[in-house]
Structure 1
Amino acid sequence: MSEAAEFKHIGQPLPRREDHRLLTGQARFLDDIVLPGALHATFVRSPHAHARIIGIDSSEALEMPGVVGVFTGEDLAQWTTPLRLAPQIEGLHPVEMTTLPIDKVRFHGDPVACVVALDRYVAEDAAEAVEVEYEVLEPVVDIASALAETAPMVDTTLETNLVSHQTFAAGDLAARRAEAHRVVEARFDLHRHTHVPMETRGCAADWDQGREHLTMHIGIQVPHPLRGQLAARMGLAENQVTVISPDVGGGFGQKIALYREELTVAALARHLRRPVRWREDRLENLMAASHAREYQSRTRASVDEKGRILGLELELTEDFGSYCFFPANYMARVIALILTGPYRIRDYAFDVRVVLTNKCGNGPMRAPMAVTSWIMEGTIEAIARELALDPVEVRRVNALTAADMPFTMATGEVVEDITPLETLEAAVSGIDVASFRARQAEARREGRFLGLGLCTVVESTTYGSGFYKSAGIPGSGHEAAWVRIEPSGVVNASVGLMGTGQGYESSLAQAVAEGLGVSPDKIRLQMGHTDIAPYGMGSRGARGGTAGGGSLYLCARKAQDRVLVIAADMLGLNSPEMLRLNDGQVERMVASDWQATGIGLADVARRAYLEPTLLPEGVDPGLDVSITYDPPPMTYSNATHACIVEIDPATGRLEIERYVIAEDCGTVLNPVVVRGQQQGATAMGLSGALFEQVVYDETGQNLTATLADYLVATACETPNFEIIEMNTPNRRTPTGSKGMAEGGVMGAIGVIANAVNDALAPFGVVIDRQPITPQSLRAALRGKTPTTS
């Protein structure tokens, strides 16, 4: 991609076309899809965190009018195969799970049996009537107890609860410690989160016995991978399964895996030869869908007297919960791989451990590497505190510059076309650090405590196939697209992604329009149907614009090339080299000026389909093209977040006074969509850092399974985000896009912690665990008095 590329449609702030149906109630979500004669499924869930299943008595439930059946793990084992995760990764132990538990339950909310009835109300009542006899076992409730020598085994097929352990070292860390002016240690504990999509999980499975075909309606981010998993675990061929994703009310990573409930519903539809549907309630979603994040980490930085990092060591342990729907090392390993992100650090080592506990299993959540920036930027702040240096200067002395690009991290990851020093300077200027320090000093004399936080983010985005291969993780990072110009000249396009609120129908249509040379409003984007869309890897991470938009743009360019070959023949030209398609009209370069030819896309399409004998030699009838595109192994975007907070020591109340983001996310497909993603990601990060927390007690009971207990920030608690746009293109992606949907989470988690610690500096207090609540701030400040200097 040329740095000087100029686009006509890409980059235009067009309104989101999907918003009309979403805001007027005309969208079609899963519950809007009617399947005549559908049965309803409800799950019996364990009240215990860890227990053997002694017996299940469903006799009372089966006698209730309207109950079709009660099905257990033993039943499902006849119709489905276990999920086995055994990638060949050193230090990662293979694990396996049945569709429903057979011998024991592993967390509070584990699905033990499935009740199917004529309607949901009957199914819910019948589930209450199912009697399960348990032998309660000692639960493993945290990392420390999981690693204890006498710990009960969460997964009895393993020898310990340590399911994954990887180490890495580059350079000579012992030598760096020996020569260092100081060795600075810091700790960062990130709490357990869950995704809280507006629309909870659900599905509707329809088995056609005559055709021996399953149609699965489900709000999902990855239609094709889900189809493959469903087929494999039900003993079907992939062409016996169709996955259709309607409008989806949010995913945030929770709607990627094939969970046990969904597989159960599909298997029962096949067994009963009736459509079966399921929708979880909010309690089930908070308790048993999937969780994320929970990490304990420490860093040790060997630094010189100016705060330059000579060597960095990371210890990271993740509480992965009870089951592995993804390779247990995946999220933690990405954190360790990209930790050094914006800084010039060549000597680096990590020790990453992942343990199983009796909690809901973990999965990716928007920015699965979210803790990365807090750990790295918190380490920078710790260095500045210990050496009494300006944290801005410590960042400057360590920051990667344009002269360093491309830069190979110690882990082998390559960053290029990023601007961490530039975004730092923009954020420092935008929030006016110098004037803030003067105001902060005056406020402290008045007994008010203001704090300034900075956090520079380097966000991993597209995850091409090369990344998975080098990291030893099974999977592909490619994306596929097709563009079909119909005989009337209208344009259909499709890609393997599925939107869950990102605005794909708008921004991706602009990528097609740019490549083809037509107006975006002439393009209809079709996604989420595995019989229509090409096989792609779906929506996850921040790959939509780069992988999805890139594949569509390239495909549209290929389609334009084909159109122009036919147009050249219609014009009696030997070559299409001096032709282009602009707003659906073929234009010809004449004396350095583009002139209309009188031929439009509809004319070319009509000939391609309805007059094939007039086509040039070697040109097949029709205008239907497709491609697959594998992006670079990894692309990165970057940003610097800056915020000012004020803390009331008497109450622990935290108020965000100002929030500035300097962001470089490459070429922007649609500024309206991108700004929404930036705002949404940052709000999600702040919500997680200040409000959200999954809490388990000492018996493994989930204490936060309602929205009265699991708090989420609202618009009232979210500040205005001032965004400084300074986007530079990536030279290795088709449009120059870098991706940007998760960096806001990373920045928010780090910047708010750094701002709080700056505000609390007079008290000699350092907050090293989240969430940062009024209660936790009061506890940290209890008995403390501020210094007057």
Structure 2
Amino acid sequence: MSETAFRYLNRPARRPEDYRLLTGHGRYVDDIDIAGALHACFVRSPHAHARIASIYTSEALAMPGVIAVVTGSDLLQWTRPLRMAPPIEGLLPVEVEALPTEVVRFHGDPVACVVAMDRYAAEDAAEKVYVEFDPLPAVSDMWRALEADAPQVDPMVPGNLISHQTFAHGDPGEAERTAYRVVEATFSQARQTHVPIETRGCAAVWDQGREHLTFHIGSQVPHPLRTQLAARLALDESQVTVISPDVGGAFGQKIALYREELVVAALARHLRRPVRWREDRLENLSAAAHSREDFCRTRAAVDQQGTLLSLTLEMREDFGAYCFFPANYLARVVAMILSGPYRLEHYAFDVKVVLSHKCGNAPMRAPMSITSWVMDGTIEAIARALGLDPVEVRRRNLIKPQELPWRTPTGELLSDITPTETFETLVRAVGYEAFRVRQREARAKGRYLGLGLCNVVEPTTYGSKFYKAAGIPGSGHEASWIRIEPTGVVNASLGIGPTGQGYESAMANAVAEGLGVDPSRVMIHMGHTDVAPYGMGSRGARSATAGGGALFLCAQEARRKVLAIAGARLGEPVDALRIVDGCVERRDGEKWLETGVTLSDIARQAYLDPTSLPDGLTPGLEFHLAYDPPAMTYSNSAHACEVELDIATGALSLVRYVVAEDCGTLLNPTVVEGQQHGAIAMGLSGALFEQMIYDEAGQNTTGSLADYLIATSAELPDIEIIPMHTPSRSTAAGIKGMAEGGVMGAIGAVTNALNDAMSPFGVVADRHPLTPMFIRELLRDSL
């Protein structure tokens, strides 16, 4: 279906969910009133690494309102440990208890849980739980963690090396030996965290009569979370219902079943009373989940014109103390897609992931965020080393339109992307040549401007074949159902978990387009495992391609049955009929004429007069469809950031930000634009401000928003978006998806802009955050 044929897709529309969210009528976990619910509070370790000698609970138990105090030994009787052991070469297995019974592994590790009549009593009692620790040496640096005498984080991981993968395609060594020059560059991201407005929380209700658990939680993946929760409680999945209401942000932090949530569920079952928990901001920053903290070194072999002959990548990532995800996964995607939109044949990587005494890692919006900065930063390094224009070096290495589809060295197939087109459009939009003139004039007056460019190829679908090829158990499919009610209104559902992205309007558009009804007639149901079909949830940019694609195809199936009934009713061939805004029309030559038959008429007939249906058609209008998208599809974009640097203070001002993006067919351009703004803001914030800091003893020194800084609207520029969308030929409706590319592009664009501004001083920023203190440190010896 071409873009011009769409009636609802590719057209901006208001988000219907905004009314309740903006007027205070949203329904979050804390808005769910549960009579008689107890409140949980966790006792956490003040040490990064220590042996638990003993835990004294008597004083806490004696306090008014306290119902129970439980420890890891109690949870061992009620839960099963998490075993993370996918069969991947170079990845070691690990196990995680509900609460540690012998050793704590990071500052903030939960060691006990107090349950009381209200939150105040629980928090007061938690202070009366006395834990006797025997402190042990800690390691909080990923380089130190790999040294032979480093303290061991997990006894199942000798040497703290949890994952080590290598790869080679072609002969990078030979390319280096014959190259004009080999250019090295390094890149380092700080440890970051997700900072959702709504921190983690849950409420568990155990029905002893039915032996059934209802678990309220803000989750991106309701069905997979239910599967894991049931398994760890030794229950059948039919004994567990997960309900995820409105969610105040997630960004990857609300995918895993964390230990606190498991403990709350186990306590509700054990006490036979509802139990709820909400973490505070200190807990969220220090003990929820972290991300990023990775280091990359590239070696690029080039000819005299800067043509990339080979590339080798050395990557190290600090995964923290616990693995709630396969430890290789985040780094593997970086290595897999590193070449992005650039032509490369000889490529090798060496990726090591280490454990340390820090909070464990989780995916964070764009877990492969460093990728585009590394690749485009390498291009910038080549241009600096050879004295070439970075735009011309990019042009020389970009995959040309006639070279597509392009098979990357790691086997990824790039097709239906437009990197050359988006890049050239961006260069024109920012007035590249004119900027260079302005830059020279400004430098003559003591002002330092910089322009940073970054090309992005964003992986989106993560279909089942991707997981199979990666050796990771799991699926990338999505399931949907549609039910046209007897009155003609449409209910639809799918397995993704919304966390504020605007799925209700986007998915309603997918149904409306496939069926032929107005989106206002479609109600989308998500986040309830007893209602929604089993799906893989929201992560990455899969929701549009997999979820929207599933609903679009399911709606087309519904339309075929509706038209079959209408055709028999009207005595017309099905291919001469169509549905527009819920009305059946018939073709008369080149014109379409109204028939007077509506979707409501067909629905009433299907449900209330089934004997009148054509032979072979069953009563009712209910449909179910599962869709497994391609192993991987890609969208692409080109980013530009203009900055001005105050060399006296190191302050960096963001002057202009422009992005040209191609993400295929849009479910709702209003939602897409919001995602673009949000992703770019997140990337800029991470690059400029965010850093989770641990001292040598493993103490987290950034446990509040006074210490862990994030960007506000005052620090962010206006964002100019140039839409250049072209459909995919391999997905339903041509959807490519997007959500994370803005993070990737922003990180590279702003860092390249700073380095452009600092170029007269011969220094290069190769690590984040780009704080004024760091910039002044770079410039100090050059001024």
TM-score, normalized by the shorter chain, greater than 0.5: yes
Deviation at 1:591, TM superposition (A): 1.8
Does residue 241 (structure 1) correspond to residue 240 (structure 2)? The answer is yes
Does residue 593 (structure 1) correspond to residue 591 (structure 2)? The answer is yes
Following superposition of structure 1 onto structure 2, how do residues 233-312 of structure 1 map, counting pairs within 5 Å? 233-312=232-311
Q: Encode CA deviations 1:344-402: one digit per residue, 9 max, x unaligned.
A: 10100000000000000001000000000110010000000000000001000000111
Runs of 4+ with >2 A deviation? 2-5
Q: Which residue of 1 aligns with 2:376?
A: 377
Residues 463, 632 of structure 2: 8 Å contact kept: yes
Q: Which residue of 1 aligns with 2:410?
A: 411
CA distance in 2, matches of 1:4, 1:661: 22
CA distance in 2, matches of 1:543, 1:242: 24
Q: Which residue of 2 aligns with 1:717?
A: 715
CA distance in 1, matches of 2:578, 2:537: 32
CA distance in 2, matches of 1:55, 1:264: 20
Residues 3, 10 of structure 2: 8 Å contact kept: no
Following superposition of structure 1 onto structure 2, how do residues 258-657 of structure 1 map, counting pairs within 5 Å? 258-573=257-572, 575-657=573-655
CA distance in 1, matches of 2:300, 2:542: 32
CA distance in 1, matches of 2:587, 2:511: 23
Q: Which residue of 1 aligns with 2:105?
A: 106
Q: Which residue of 2 aligns with 1:669?
A: 667
Amino acid at match of 1:423: T
Amino acid at match of 1:695: I
Residues 493, 525 of structure 1: 8 Å contact kept: yes
Deviation at 1:4, TM superposition (A): 5.7
CA distance in 1, matches of 2:163, 2:502: 37
User: 1:715 is paired with a residue of what secondary structure?
Assistant: coil
The worse-fitting range, judged by mean Cα deviation, of 564-573 and 178-187 is 564-573
Following superposition of structure 1 onto structure 2, how do residues 159-178 of structure 1 map, counting pairs within 5 Å? 159-178=158-177
Deviation at 1:3, TM superposition (A): 4.7
Q: Encode CA deviations 1:570-605: one digit per residue, 9 max, x unaligned.
A: 1134x4221111110111112222111111111111
Residues 415, 636 of structure 1: 8 Å contact kept: yes
CA distance in 2, matches of 1:783, 1:480: 59
Does residue 78 (structure 1) correspond to residue 64 (structure 2)? The answer is no
Q: Which residue of 2 aligns with 1:766?
A: 764
Amino acid at match of 1:586: V
User: 1:717 is paired with a residue of what secondary structure?
Assistant: coil
Q: Encode CA deviations 1:738-779: one digit per residue, 9 max, x unaligned.
A: 111000000011111100001001111101000000010111
Q: Which residue of 1 aligns with 2:780?
A: 782
Amino acid at match of 2:744: M
CA distance in 1, matches of 2:750, 2:131: 46
Residues 457, 639 of structure 1: 8 Å contact kept: yes
Deviation at 1:158, TM superposition (A): 2.1
Q: Which residue of 2 aligns with 1:33?
A: 32
User: 2:5 is paired with a residue of what secondary structure?
Assistant: coil
Deviation at 1:77, TM superposition (A): 0.8
Residues 81, 234 of structure 1: 8 Å contact kept: yes
The worse-fitting range, judged by mean Cα deviation, of 631-640 and 563-572 is 563-572
Q: Encode CA deviations 1:265-304: one digit per residue, 9 max, x unaligned.
A: 0000000000000000000000000000100110000000
Q: Encode CA deviations 1:418-462: one digit per residue, 9 max, x unaligned.
A: 111111111111101101111111111111111110000001111
Q: Which residue of 1 aligns with 2:199?
A: 200
Relative to structure 1, is the Cα distance of residues 4 and 268 closer, same or farther in structure 2, using a 3 angstrom cutoff?
closer
Q: Encode CA deviations 1:504-546: one digit per residue, 9 max, x unaligned.
A: 0011100100000000000000000000001100011011111
1:741 to 719, 739, 742: 739
What CA RMSD, in Å, does the superposition of the two structures yield over aligned residues?
Answer: 0.8
Amino acid at match of 2:600: A
Q: Encode CA deviations 1:655-682: one digit per residue, 9 max, x unaligned.
A: 0111110111111111111100000000
Amino acid at match of 2:284: N
CA distance in 2, matches of 1:734, 1:60: 61
User: 1:425 is paired with a residue of what secondary structure?
Assistant: helix
Q: Which residue of 1 aligns with 2:128?
A: 129
The worse-fitting range, judged by mean Cα deviation, of 154-163 and 56-65 is 154-163
User: 1:753 is paired with a residue of what secondary structure?
Assistant: helix
Amino acid at match of 2:53: I
Q: Encode CA deviations 1:33-73: one digit per residue, 9 max, x unaligned.
A: 01101000000000000001000000100000100000001
Amino acid at match of 1:780: L
Q: Which residue of 2 aligns with 1:227?
A: 226
Q: Which structure 1 residue ranges, 5 or more long, are not aligned?
A: none
User: 1:577 is paired with a residue of what secondary structure?
Assistant: helix
Amino acid at match of 1:644: E
CA distance in 1, matches of 2:688, 2:641: 14
Does residue 694 (structure 1) correspond to residue 692 (structure 2)? The answer is yes
CA distance in 1, matches of 2:563, 2:429: 48
User: 1:365 is paired with a residue of what secondary structure?
Assistant: coil
CA distance in 2, matches of 1:776, 1:32: 43
Deviation at 1:157, TM superposition (A): 2.0
Amino acid at match of 2:144: S
Q: Encode CA deviations 1:482-503: one digit per residue, 9 max, x unaligned.
A: 1100011110000101111110
Amino acid at match of 2:624: S
CA distance in 2, matches of 1:443, 1:26: 51
CA distance in 1, matches of 2:769, 2:179: 33
Amino acid at match of 1:628: A
User: 1:716 is paired with a residue of what secondary structure?
Assistant: coil
Amino acid at match of 1:544: S
CA distance in 2, matches of 1:275, 1:266: 9
Q: Which residue of 2 aligns with 1:89?
A: 88
Does residue 69 (structure 1) correspond to residue 74 (structure 2)? The answer is no
Amino acid at match of 2:211: E
Following superposition of structure 1 onto structure 2, how do residues 148-167 of structure 1 map, counting pairs within 5 Å? 148-167=147-166
CA distance in 2, matches of 1:552, 1:64: 53
Residues 486, 603 of structure 2: 8 Å contact kept: yes
Q: Which residue of 2 aligns with 1:729?
A: 727
CA distance in 1, matches of 2:283, 2:327: 23
Following superposition of structure 1 onto structure 2, how do residues 13-28 of structure 1 map, counting pairs within 5 Å? 13-28=12-27
Amino acid at match of 1:323: Y
CA distance in 1, matches of 2:157, 2:256: 23
Number of aligned positions between the proteins: 783
CA distance in 1, matches of 2:148, 2:499: 44
Amino acid at match of 2:639: H
Q: Which structure 2 residue ranges, 5 or more long, are not aligned?
A: none
Amino acid at match of 2:464: S
Q: Encode CA deviations 1:583-633: one digit per residue, 9 max, x unaligned.
A: 101111122221111111111110111111111111111100010000110
TM-score of the two chains, using structure 2 as the length reference: 0.99
Amino acid at match of 2:151: P
Amino acid at match of 2:489: V
Amino acid at match of 1:665: C
Residues 3, 731 of structure 1: 8 Å contact kept: no
Residues 223, 535 of structure 2: 8 Å contact kept: yes
